[in-house]
Structure 1
């Protein structure tokens, strides 16, 4: 997923980008409101982290103009902690509001919560090679073969299919499917991937679910 951070404190922006990148998000940064608004309007982001006190255009004005054209989820980030400021931001269309200073763990939890609430893409069926993942009927097929998955296995396959071609780390997968912090001693992801692979790959010549050593897993057609 792709996140835009609009923050003029470069040290703060760099810190947040480092943490989000480690959590497997793609992050862009703008250091003023005008550039942030341009990027938010002309690029496709899953979430915007928007500081209120910005040069050129303040965060409230950026949010007001953004909402005219887009409904991208927005987390307001600011040192202003008055009730009036919070109400103003929410009435302009902010989805959440976090006051500085804050703990990074809370920031990441807010990000994950907003991304879970955000509507998914408009496609009802995800396809890769001869694999079809029907998001409405919750059905999976490879060619003419129906594949039965548990709810957890389907969630894992859906995550991989929505981001096909992207290497997803174990940390990211656990945060999205199990909503928990990754424990390096836990092999829950490897076990789940093994079960899904057995169902969608083992009986077929073309393999789609690949392990990227030292990084994670990717669903892609390598033929």
Structure 2
């Protein structure tokens, strides 16, 4: 399983070493050298998992972790620590870390722990009240969606559009119907707002398979199952 990883480590030698090892397992890795940069990157990119060093300049790892959780970001976080003391590990787990690895890092163990975190997260994220069409699964109560085993990082509007398409999979929904359901009955627009958001939604769905949204020219869209 290839992952989008944020590695937060201020030791440049160790940062390059770990990033290179993870890339060797097929992962895409972005790096940050301090907590401030890490928080900025997380706000602008969708990561599957964060590898977070405990000791960082300016903003330490525990503070970064607490801010991520306070902002509602629930991606798995694996802490790197050179301390090895039980209370430090407990503090990290209580702050919202999913796992930890003590330095020096064994690349095989690190990759195995990352894969285990993702498998566990996929199981726990799938609540009972989901609806599905083809390989797309949606949880309306959690505003979460997946394609296959991959979580989709959707905006609120993209999620609402996909939800309507999944609910009426195989049925053509006109642009007027989608505007009423997603933006509201009183919403007035002279722009191609539906087409623009469908394009954005398609880009995200195409990451994990073929385009499932059919266009009915001059009318609207249909989720093909």
Which TM-score bucket, shorter chain as reference?
Answer: 0.5 to 0.7
1:91 aligns with 2:94: yes
- 1:73 match: 76
Q: How does 1:38-117 map to 2 (within 5 A)?
A: 38-69=40-71, 70-117=73-120
Distance in 2 (alpha carbons) for counterparts of 1:162 and 1:58: 28
Q: CA deviation at 1:134?
A: 5.6
- Residue 108 to residue 60, structure 1, CA distance change in 2 (3 Å): same
Distance in 2 (alpha carbons) for counterparts of 1:26 and 1:53: 23
Does the 8 Å CA contact 2:136/2:148 hold for their aligned counterparts?
no
Distance in 1 (alpha carbons) for counterparts of 2:132 and 2:33: 38
- Residue 57 to residue 118, structure 1, CA distance change in 2 (3 Å): same
- Residue 134 to residue 2, structure 1, CA distance change in 2 (3 Å): closer
Q: CA deviation at 1:43?
A: 2.0
Distance in 1 (alpha carbons) for counterparts of 2:15 and 2:91: 24
Output one character per residue of 1:28-49: Cα deviation in whole Å (capped at 9) or x when no partner: 1001111012212332111000
Counterpart secondary structure, 1:84? helix
Distance in 1 (alpha carbons) for counterparts of 2:35 and 2:119: 26
Q: CA deviation at 1:93?
A: 0.5
- Give the alignment's TM-score, normalised by structure 2: 0.55
Which 5+ residue runs of structure 2 have no aligned equivalent? 139-146, 153-207, 212-225
Distance in 2 (alpha carbons) for counterparts of 1:24 and 1:86: 29
Give the paired residue count: 143
The root-mean-square deviation of aligned C-alpha atoms, in Å, is 3.0
Does the 8 Å CA contact 1:46/1:72 hold for their aligned counterparts?
yes
Q: CA deviation at 1:118?
A: 1.8
Distance in 2 (alpha carbons) for counterparts of 1:45 and 1:121: 19
Distance in 1 (alpha carbons) for counterparts of 2:62 and 2:82: 14
Does the 8 Å CA contact 2:22/2:107 hold for their aligned counterparts?
no
Does the 8 Å CA contact 2:77/2:97 hold for their aligned counterparts?
yes
1:7 pairs, out of 3, 6, 9, with 9
- Residue 158 to residue 13, structure 1, CA distance change in 2 (3 Å): same
Output one character per residue of 1:102-144: Cα deviation in whole Å (capped at 9) or x when no partner: 3111111111111111236898547xxxxx33659xxxxxxxx
Q: How does 1:119-198 map to 2 (within 5 A)?
A: 119=122, 125=132, 132-133=134-135, 158=148
Does the 8 Å CA contact 1:41/1:66 hold for their aligned counterparts?
no
- 1:23 match: 25
